[in-house]
Chain A
Amino acid sequence: MAQQQLATLGGARIVAGCVAALWLGCTADIETPEPLSPVGPEQPSHPVVPGVPGTPGTPGSPTTPTTPNTPEPVNGVAPLRYACDANASPLVDVPLRRLSHRQLVSSITTAIARLAGSESSAVLAESSTQLGALPADRFVSAANKGRDGFERADQVLSQDQADAQYALAVKLGQALTASAARRGKVFGACLADADTSNDSACLDTFLKTQGSRLLHRPFTADDVTFYRRALRGTPISPESLADVLAVLFASPETFFVVEGAGTAPATASLTAYELAARLSLALWDELPDDALWAAAGSGELLTDTGYRAQVARLLGDARAKATLHGFFTGWFQLQRTPKLTDSLTYADYKALVGTQALPTSVDGVLDDVFGAVDAAVAGRASLAALLQDKAVYTRDAATAGLYGVSPWDGVSTPQAPPGGGRAGLFTRLAFLTTGNVSSHPILRGVRMRVGMLCDALGEAPPNAAAQAAATPLTGTEGDRAKASAMTDSGGCAACHRTSINPLGFAFEGFDALGRARTSEKVFSPTTGAVVAEQSVDTRSTPYVLSSDGRPTADAVELTARIAESKKFESCMVTQYFRFTFARTGEVASDQCLLSRVEPLARGGASIPEVLEAFVTAPEFKRRIALEVP
C-alpha cells in the first residue's frame, strides 16, 4: 500500500521518519539508466548502423562520443551524466504508444472545432459525459513511486478505455449529425440539402479531407471504401452519417500513435504525416493543425528548413506553453502540491496557520511556478536562470501573502519576496508546502535528491519506519531535531545523514506553509498550544556531489551549489527525454541522444533551445522497433 500512498503524498500527515532512506548505494550520484519499460521482454542487442546520422563517429552526427563519466568532480561540477556508447543498440521506442488522456481529449476537441465550427461548443457539451468518462492517466516513473514521472508514460490499456472511447465515438457521431445545420457544417451543404444525387460524392470528399485529418494520414481508396461500409441503405441518412463518424472516431488511429517502424535507423524514418503527428503530440499534446498538416502534405516537413520552421512555430504557440506546464508538473511533482486548507481540522496545523489567509486551491501556488517557467521561456533564459529566479509570479492574493508580497498583476515586473532567504525555484511555495504542521525536511530532502538532482535513492529497509516510530521524543523537538533523532542512528543513518536530510535542512528557514521563519514553534497535536519554540538551523553539508563535503549556510547557498554542479540541467535533460518519448527510463543506446543535449543544457542554452535539440534530433524522426516481421 505504501507505494500508492506515496503517489498522493501531498496532503498527508506524515510522521517524519526513515521513510525514504537509502539502504545501500546512496553514495551514487548518478541514477543508472534503467531498462526501457514497458516494452516487454528484455531487448536483444542491435548493431549500430554505420553511416547513419546519430551514430557516433558518423559524419553529420552532432557530437563526438564523450569520455565516460569521470569519477572526480571539478570545482563542484558534476561529471556528465551521459556518454554515447558506439556499440549500444539504437534507441528503441515503446510499442504502439497510445495517446495520453490529455492528448486524446485535446485532439478530439480540436477535431470537433474543425468539423462543427460554431456548433462545436454544443456538440462538446452534449458529449461531455462521454468525454468525462475517458480514464485519466497516472504519473508514471520507473520506480512507480509517484514521486516523479509523466502521465504520457502511463501506457496501460484497459477495458475502461476501450469502453469509453467507443461510447464517445458513438456519441460524437450522433451529436455531429443531430441537425441539418450540423451535418452541413461537418459534411458540407451537399450532404445536408434535399438533393441526394450528389451525396455519395460529397461523402467521399469528406472522407478524403476530414476523414484523413481525423486519422492523421492520407486516405487510400481502400480507406474510403471501408468507411463507406458504415452506410446502411440509400439515400444516405443522418444515422448512416453518424455511423461513419462513429467508426472514424473509434478508429485505432485516434487512440494509438500508429507509426511504421524499421529495425535499424536506415529503415526507420517516419513518414511526413507520422512525423507531423509525433511533433505535434510532443510539443502541443494534440494532433497536427492545418499548417503542420499542409507542411506534411507538401513534403516541406521532411526538409531541414521546413522542419525547423515548424518546430519554431509550434514552440512559439500557447499550446506549447500548456504542454511545457505539463512537463514541469511531472518533473517538479507539482501534482502533489497540497491544498493548504485541507488540514485545518488538526489543532496543531490550525495553530501554525493562525490568522494567515490561506489559498483555497493550489492554483495560485502552481501559477507561481508556471509564471517563472513562462518568463524563462519567453526570455529565452537558461535553466540556471529559472533555478535562481526569485520573483513571485502568483496572482492569488493569499498565495502572495505567504511570500509577504502583493499578487503579481501579470504586467509589471514581478516582485521578489522581502529578505534575502529566498533562493529561487526551490524556495517557491510549491516546493515548501507540506500540507500539515511539519516542514518535513526528510521529504523535502528526498524530493531534492531524487526529483531535482536525479540521483538514485532506494527506500528504507522494512524495519526502518518502526525504528523511527520507536525513537524517544519529548514532543518539544523542532522538525530538524525530530528528523535527526529518528534517522541519525542505525541503518538509516548512513544515507539520511548525507544524502537526504542535509538537503532538507537547508530549507528549514521556511515553515510548512512556505513562510520564512527564524524560529519554529512546536505545537501540541491535541490542543494546538505552543509547547516549545526552537531556533531554526539551516546549515548543512548537502553533498550535492557525493564527493563535495563543503557545507552550506542555507537554501541560497544550496541553490548556488546546485547551480554550480550543473546537476539540475542534467536532470532536466533526463526528464525531458522521458517526457518526449513517453518513457520511464533510459537504455544505453539513448545516451547518444542524451549526451548531445546534456552539454547544451549545462552550457547555458535557453530552455527553448534544449527542447529544440530533442525534437530536431535524428532519433526523434525515426522509430525503431524490436522486430518488424
Chain B
Amino acid sequence: MKFSRRWFLRSAGHAALAIPALPSLLTPLEARAQAAASDKIFIGFMGAYGGCWADKFFPAMGAAAASRTYAGRTVRSQALPSTQANGETVVSEVIRGRSTELTPRLLGKMNLVQGIDLPFDVNHHSAATFGNFAQGDAGVAGGDSPTGISGRAISAHPRATIDQVLANSAAFYGNLGSVVRRSVTISTFGNLSYWYPGGGEGKAVNAGEIPPSMSLQQLWDLLFAGFTAPKPARGPVVDLVLEDYKRLRTNPRLSKLDKARLDEHVARVAEIQRRLGLATPTACTAPARPGATPQVQGNNPQSHSDYYGAYKDIVVAALSCGLTRVVSYLFQGWDTTFGTLINDPFHQLVSHKTDEAAAQVDMDQSRTRMFRDVIVPLASTLDSVTAADGSSLLDRTLVYFTQEHGTYGHCQENIPVVTFGSARGALKTGLHVDYRDLTRHLPQHYDGSVSASTPYVGLTFHQMLGSMLQWLDVPKTQWGGPANGAESNHGGYGYRPPDVIPRQSNWRNAYEWAVAGEKLPILSA
C-alpha cells in the first residue's frame, strides 16, 4: 500500500471529526487540555536472544566523536556514519538497510544507543527491556545461585511494560479521539506487553499479560472492523452491561479483592463503551482485509521477515487514521529468530556460541534481517506520510528496538537500543551514543570475576525507559515515585531490587543510580 500526503490529511480530518465536541463549545480549560494532548506514537520492537559483539552491532566511534562527562564517566557521541555497498546503506556490520529505504534523511532520524544495561539477572525474558523486569526467569532458572537469588528478588515485583504505561496514560492518551485500540502487540505467540491495574506489586507476573495479535486478519479486525461493520440501527446495550457490573459491585459478600478484580474488568467494559461511542470513521479509508497471513516456515529466515513485514501496511494505516498510537512487535525466538535455526537450536548453537565465528554470522544476519526487512521499511514508510507542515508521521513517533541480551548470550549489559523518530523533537536524532564507562568493567554474573572481556558499566534501563516515557509526554507523576511502587529509590522507570548478595551489591552499586531519574543526556533535546 502506498501512503500519500493526502492520506495523512484525510486521516487528520478523520481524527478531528472524531472529537466529540467542536472546539468552540469547549471551556477554555478543556480547550487548553485538548490542545496540549499528546499525539505522539510509540512503536516498540523486542528481539529474542542477543549476543552480537559490540563491534559488529555498532560502528567504531570515530576520532571526531564528541565527548562529555556524565555520571562520573566520559560519554561519547558521533553522527551516525554510513557507507554504501551492494545497494545497501551500511552503518555497521549488523545495522544496514536498502539504500532506497535507509536514505540519508532516514538515517538522520535514527539513533544507535550503546551502553544500556539491565543491572541484575533476568536470564531469559521477553519484556524486561520494556520495563517488566519480573518477567525474566532468573528466579526459577538460577536456583539458589546468585543469579537465582537476584532473579527472585525481582520476580515478586512486576511492573507494566512501557507500551502499556503509555496505553493507559491520561497524558499520552488525554484525547483518545478516534482511537479504537490503545495498543496492539504483534507476534507469533508469547507476551511482550504487561499491564497491572492498580500496580503490579505483589501480583503474579502472568496476571498482567496482554496477548498479541498473531495474524494479519486478527490485527485488521481489531483496528478496522468498525470501518466496514454496518452501523446498527439501535444504540448498543453496553451501557446497561456496564451498569450490571457496577450493580454486582454492591454485593456485600464480595471481598475487596473480588471487587478489585471486578473493577479491572469493568474498566475493559468501559473501554468497549467508549469505542462504541466513536463516530463512524468516514474520512479515512480502511485497507482491504488481508486474505492470509504469511506462514512462518521453521528455519527459513525469509519467512520470518515476510511474516512481520506483512503487518506494515495495517500498522501505518492505523496510525495514519489515528486508530491507535502504541504498537509493539515481539520477534519471538520460538519460531521467528530471523536466523537459519529456530527455538532451542538457535538458543544453544547460536546465542550460546557467540565466541565462535560461524555462530556469530548467523546471529549478525538475524539482527540484520530484523532491521533491513522489518524495522527500516516501517520507519521509511512512516517517514513518507507527511502532513501539511512537512513533518512526517515518523516525526511524531518514537520507534524503539531492543533485544533480550547484550553482547553475548545471557549478557544483560550493553543491550543495543536503536531508535527512529524524534517524538516531535523530544529527542535528538542521527546519533551514535555510547554511555559506557570505559574505565570500569563489571563483574561476571556467575562468579564475580572481572576481566577485560566482561562488559563495561553503562547506564540503566531504568533511565532509558524513564527517558522514553518523558519524551512521549508521560510525566513522572504517572509512573514514578512512592505512589507507584518502590521506584522512589532511583527515579527511573521500574523496580530496583534490594541488594541481596554482597558480591552482587558491588556489581549493582557500580551503577550511578543517582542519575537514573534523569532524562538521558545527549539524546534528550
Stretch of B4-12, B142-150, B301-309, B475-483 with 4 or more beta carbons under 8 angstroms from chain A: B142-150
**Is the beta-carbon distance between B144 and A256 smaller than 8 angstroms?**
no
Closest to B218 in A: A133
Contact B245 A463 (CB under 8 A): no
Q: Are B140 and A143 in contact (CB under 8 A)?
A: yes
Which residue of chain A has the shortest Cβ distance to B444 in the bound complex? A463
Contacts of B334 in A (CB 8 A): 1, 4-5, 8
| Distance to closest chain B CB from A285 (angstroms) | 21
Asked if B438 is an interface residue, CB under 8 A from chain A, the answer is: no
- The answer to whether B251 touches A157 (Cβ under 8 A) is no
CA distance A408 to B211 in the complex (A): 41
B206 CB contacts on chain A under 8 angstroms: 38, 140, 144, 156
Choice from A17, A166, A584, A626 contacting B256 with Cβ under 8 Å: A626
A-chain residues with CB within 8 Å of residue B201 when the two chains form the complex: 41
Q: Say yes or no: is A83 at the interface (Cβ < 8 Å to chain B).
A: no
When A41-B202, A232-B234, A463-B410 are in contact, do A626 and B257 touch as well, CB less than 8 Å? yes
Least CB distance from A582 to B in Å reads 13
A250 within 8 A of B: yes
| A contact residues around B93 at 8 Å (CB) | none
Minimum distance in angstroms from B404 CB to a CB of chain A = 6
The segment out of B169-177, B264-272, B418-426 that lies at the interface is B264-272
Closest to B144 in A: A24
Is there a chain A Cβ closer than 8 Å to B33's Cβ?
A: no
CB-CB contacts below 8 Å: B248-307 with A: 248, 251-258, 260-262, 264-265, 268-269, 271-272, 298
**Nearest B-chain residue to A248, judged by Cβ:** B244
Instruction: Give the most central of A1, A161, A261: most B CB within 10 Å.
Output: A1
Whether A462 contacts B123 by the Cβ 8 Å rule is yes
B189, B190, B203, B349: which contacts A40 (Cβ < 8 A)? B203
- Is A461 in contact with B446, judged by CB distance below 8 angstroms? yes
Report the number of A-B residue pairs with Cβ-Cβ less than 8 Å. Answer: 223
Verify if A160 is at the interface (C-beta below 8 Å from B).
Answer: yes
Instruction: Report B264 CB to chain A, min CB distance, Å.
Output: 5
How far is B253's CA from A259's CA once the two chains are assembled, in angstroms? Answer: 8
Please pick, from A14, A155, A230, the residue contacting B207 in the complex, using a CB distance under 8 A: A155
* Stretch among A239-247, A364-372, A373-381, A389-397 lining the B interface: A239-247
Q: How far is the CA of A221 from the CA of B211 in the complex (A)?
A: 40
Q: Is the CB of A260 within 8 A of B254?
A: yes
Is B498 among interface residues, defined by CB-CB distance under 8 A?
no
Q: Mark B120-164, 1 if CB is under 8 A from A, else 0.
A: 010111100000000001101111110110000000000000000
A95 within 8 A of B: yes
Contacts A4-B190, A12-B343, A461-B145 known; A469 to B234 CB distance under 8 Å?
A: no
- Identify the closest chain B residue to A4 (Cβ): B190
Contact A135 B211, beta carbon cutoff 8 Å: yes
Picked from A258, A459, A466, the residue with its CB within 8 Å of the CB of B248 is A258
A459 in complex: contacting residue of B140, B210, B251, B268, CB < 8 Å: B140
* A462 and B147 within 8 A (CB): yes
**Complex alpha-carbon distance, A272 and B519, angstroms:** 59
User: Do the beta carbons of B137 and A3 come within 8 Å of each other?
Assistant: yes
Is A201 interfacial (CB-CB < 8 Å)? Answer: no
**Chain A residues with CB under 8 A of B60:** none
Contact assessment for B255 and A627 in the assembled complex, using a CB-CB cutoff below 8 Å: yes
A-B residue pairs in contact (CB < 8 Å), sample of 19: A1-B332, A12-B343, A40-B202, A42-B202, A95-B260, A96-B254, A140-B206, A157-B264, A162-B271, A247-B244, A261-B254, A261-B255, A458-B141, A459-B137, A463-B410, A466-B352, A469-B348, A469-B353, A625-B255
CA distance in complex: A597, B343 (Å): 41
Interface centre among A22, A135, A162, A251, by most B CB within 10 Å? A162
Cβ of A468 within 8 Å of any chain B Cβ, yes or no, is yes
* A581 at the B interface (CB under 8 A): no
Beyond A95-B258, A458-B140: 10 further Cβ-contacts under 8 Å? A2-B124, A3-B137, A37-B204, A41-B201, A157-B265, A158-B210, A162-B265, A252-B245, A462-B138, A628-B256
A150 CB → nearest B CB, Å: 13
In the complex, identify which listed stretch (B20-28, B235-243, B362-370) lies at the interface while the others stay far away.
B235-243
Tell me the chain B residues, 58-102 only, with Cβ under 8 Å from chain A: none
Please, which residue of chain B has its CB at the minimum distance from the CB of A135? B211
Return A90 CB to nearest CB of chain B, in Å: 14
Interface residues of A in 1-29 (CB under 8 A from B): 1-5, 8, 12-15, 17, 19, 22-25
Are A5 and B347 interface neighbours, CB within 8 A? yes
Chain A residue at minimum C-beta to C-beta distance from B208: A156
**B253 partner, pick from A159, A261, A460, beta carbons under 8 A:** A261
The minimal Cβ–Cβ distance linking A559 to chain B, given in whole angstroms, is: 29
Partner of B244, one of A17, A160, A252: A252
Q: How far is the CA of A96 from the CA of B263 in the complex (A)?
A: 11
Which residues of chain A in 90-147 are interfacial with respect to chain B, using CB atoms and an 8 Å cutoff?
95-96, 135, 140, 143-145
In the complex, which residues 38-66 of chain B have their Cβ closer than 8 Å to any Cβ of chain A? 48-49
Q: How many residues in B have their beta carbons less than 8 Å from beta carbons of A?
A: 77
Verify A96–B261 contact, CB threshold 8 A.
yes
B409 touches A (CB below 8 Å): yes
Q: How far is the CA of A302 from the CA of B493 in the complex (A)?
A: 53
Provide the residues of chain A in CB contact with B248, threshold 8 Å: 252-253, 258
CB distance from A35 to the nearest CB of B (A): 9
Judge if A420 is at the interface, Cβ distance under 8 Å. no
Q: Judging by beta carbons under 8 Å apart, are A162 and B272 in contact?
A: yes
Residues of B close to A8: CB separation below 8 A: 189, 334
Is residue A39 contacting chain B, with contact meaning CB distance below 8 A?
Answer: yes
B344 at the interface (CB under 8 A from A): yes
CA distance A466 to B446 in the complex (A): 13
Task: Name the one of B140, B191, B243 contacting A145, with C-beta atoms under 8 angstroms.
Answer: B140
Give me the 8 closest cross-chain CB pairs, A-B, nearest first: A23-B143, A260-B253, A458-B143, A625-B255, A38-B204, A162-B268, A95-B257, A459-B141
Residue among A3, A17, A465 having the largest count of chain B Cβ atoms under 10 Å: A3
> A230 is contacted by which of B140, B237, B252, B343 (Cβ under 8 Å)?
B237
Indicate if the CB atoms of A23 and B190 lie closer than 8 Å. Answer: no
Q: What's the minimum C-beta distance from B254 to chain A, rounded to whole angstroms?
A: 7
- Give bound CA distance, A462 to B237, whole Å: 53
Q: In the complex, are the beta carbons of B272 and A243 less than 8 A apart?
A: no
Hey, which chain A residues are within 8 Å of B15, CB to CB?
A: none
A418 located at the interface, meaning its Cβ lies under 8 Å from any Cβ of chain B in the complex:
no
- In the complex, what residues of A have CB within 8 A of residue B148's CB? 23, 458
Which A residues touch B256, using CB under 8 A? 626-629
Question: Which residues of the partner chain B approach A155 to less than 8 Å between Cβ atoms?
Answer: 207
Cβ A458 vs Cβ B257 within 8 A:
no
Contact A229 B240 (CB under 8 A): yes
A42 nearest CB across to chain B (Å):
7
Is B241's CB under 8 angstroms from A256's CB?
no
Chain A residues lying within 8 Å of B244, measured Cβ to Cβ, are 226, 247, 250-252
- Contact status B257-A39, CB under 8 Å: yes
- Asked if B272 and A166 sit within 8 Å, CB to CB, the answer is yes
A82 within 8 A of B: no
B350 to chain A, nearest CB (A): 10
Q: Does B333 contact A (CB under 8 A)?
A: yes
Give chain B nearest CB distance to A585 CB in angstroms.
10
Does A163 interact with chain B (Cβ within 8 Å)? yes
Which residues on A sit within 8 Å (CB–CB) of B238?
166
Q: Whose C-beta in chain A lies nearest to the C-beta of B257? A: A95
A1-B49, A3-B137, A232-B234 known; A466-B255 Cβ under 8 A = no
In the complex, what residues of B have CB within 8 A of residue A466's CB?
Answer: 352-353, 409
> Is the C-beta of A327 less than 8 angstroms from some C-beta in chain B?
no
User: Is B512 an interface residue when CB atoms closer than 8 A count as contact?
Assistant: no
In residues 443-479 of chain B, which contact A (Cβ within 8 Å)?
Answer: 445-446
A5: chain B residues at CB < 8 Å are 333-334, 343-344, 347
Does B345 lie at the interface of the complex (its beta carbon under 8 Å from any beta carbon of A)? Answer: yes
B223 CB, min distance to chain A CBs, angstroms: 12
Residue of A nearest to B246 (CB): A252
Assuming the A-B contacts A23-B148, A229-B240, A247-B240, are A458 and B142 also in contact, with contact meaning beta carbons closer than 8 angstroms in the complex?
A: yes
Residues in B neighbouring A3, C-beta threshold 8 A: 124, 137, 140
Given contacts A1-B332, A4-B126, A95-B255, whether A469 and B352 have CB atoms under 8 Å apart is yes
